[in-house]
Structure 1
Amino acid sequence: MEEEKEAIKSASEEVSCQFKTLINSEDVDSVNQLQHLILGRLQDSNAVLSHFNDYSERCFADVSGDFSRNTRLLKSIKSDLDHIFTKLRSAKGKLLATYPDAFPDGSKTSIVDQRPDLELPLQ
């Protein structure tokens, strides 16, 4: 059994030596240096991205309250304006019904709301 282990060990060493002759050690060193250079650059990039993510998170925390407050304000303004325009259309309709000559001929056509719909996404 011991002789068999020795034979396997010597065969392994011979195969290892044969593989070493197939590989140029300068090429291996060059590849190793390039890998270390790439690793360093990736670590630097990772650090920069981590700092940027932290900065972005702080900025978002700073503005998120203002953003949600302004969003609520804009929705309230839109609701108020919709109510005002509805009242104006109703009043204009009543005026037209009561006084048909109150508005010039161009305004007697159907009243079309030409305001943009603010709830649709921009194109």
Structure 2
Amino acid sequence: MQQSSTSMTTSDFECFQNYTSSEVFVHQLAGLVNPQDISTIIRNQKQMLQRFEKTNEMLLNVNQLSQSRLSNITEEYKKNSKLLIEMKKDLEYIFKKIRTIKSKMEAKYPEAFEQAKRQNMQNLEETDENDEENINYEQLESIKNIDNIDNDAMEALDS
């Protein structure tokens, strides 16, 4: 039986006498690999590394920009939410005052108040007949629910 060209003779091992078996294996393996292929692989890896570094840098920039915009928008949202809550409180105060004035007027001038109330109701009915956009009370209830949610959200933001 003929020995293959890759098999080694004892004379081939004489040059590796001072090496360990793992070192001999590495030297043998290095002889099997084409150096040109290795340089091509290394070049491709360097190109990919450069691309990944550029991509990473761009992602970091996008992340910083997003973070700054989020910070700005969060502050603006807090300010606007506080303004809306303040406006709601002001409107509630105004309506409370109007109710107080109405009750005082009703107590002081009951006949005139009833007459004004009837006249106001007639005007409202005429307006409703002519108005294409009637108030949707379900929408008003949903708006109240949204107000409650917004109050809860503001309390969460403040804490």
Instruction: Report the TM-score, using the length of structure 2 for normalisation.
Output: 0.43
Structure 2 CA distance for partners of 1:13 and 1:114, relative to 1, 3 Å: closer
**Correspondences of 1:1-123 after superposition (within 5 Å):** 7=17, 9=19, 11-75=21-85, 113-115=137-139, 117-118=142-143, 119=146
Aligned in 2, Cα 1:65/1:13: closer, same or farther, shift over 3 Å? closer
State the alpha-carbon separation in 2 of the partners of residues 42 and 68 from structure 1. Answer: 38
Instruction: Name the structure 2 match of 1:93.
Output: none
Pair 1:77–1:18, CA change in 2 (3 A) = same
- Structure number with bigger Rg: 2
In structure 2, runs of 5+ residues without a counterpart are 1-15, 96-117, 126-135, 150-159
* Count of residues in correspondence between the two structures: 100
Give the Cα separation in 2 of the matches to 1:76 and 1:67: 14
Distance 1:34 1:77 in 2: 63
Percent pairwise identity: 19
Q: Secondary structure at the match of 1:9?
A: coil
Q: CA deviation at 1:76?
A: 5.3
Do the aligned partners of residues 38 and 73 (structure 1) sit closer, same or farther apart at CA in structure 2, a change above 3 Å counting? same
CA distance in structure 2 between the partners assigned to 1:74 and 1:18 by the alignment = 78
Distance 1:18 1:42 in 2: 34
Q: CA RMSD in A?
A: 4.0
What is the one-letter code of the residue matched to 2:50? Answer: G
After superposition, the C-alpha distances for 1:65-116 in whole angstroms (9 at most, x for unaligned) are 22112123345566758xx7xxxxxxxxxxxxxx8xx76xxxxxxxx72207
How far apart are the structure 1 equivalents of 2:25 and 2:51? Answer: 37
Equivalent-residue separation in structure 1 for 2:20 and 2:71 (angstroms): 67
Query: Normalization by structure 1: what TM-score?
Result: 0.53
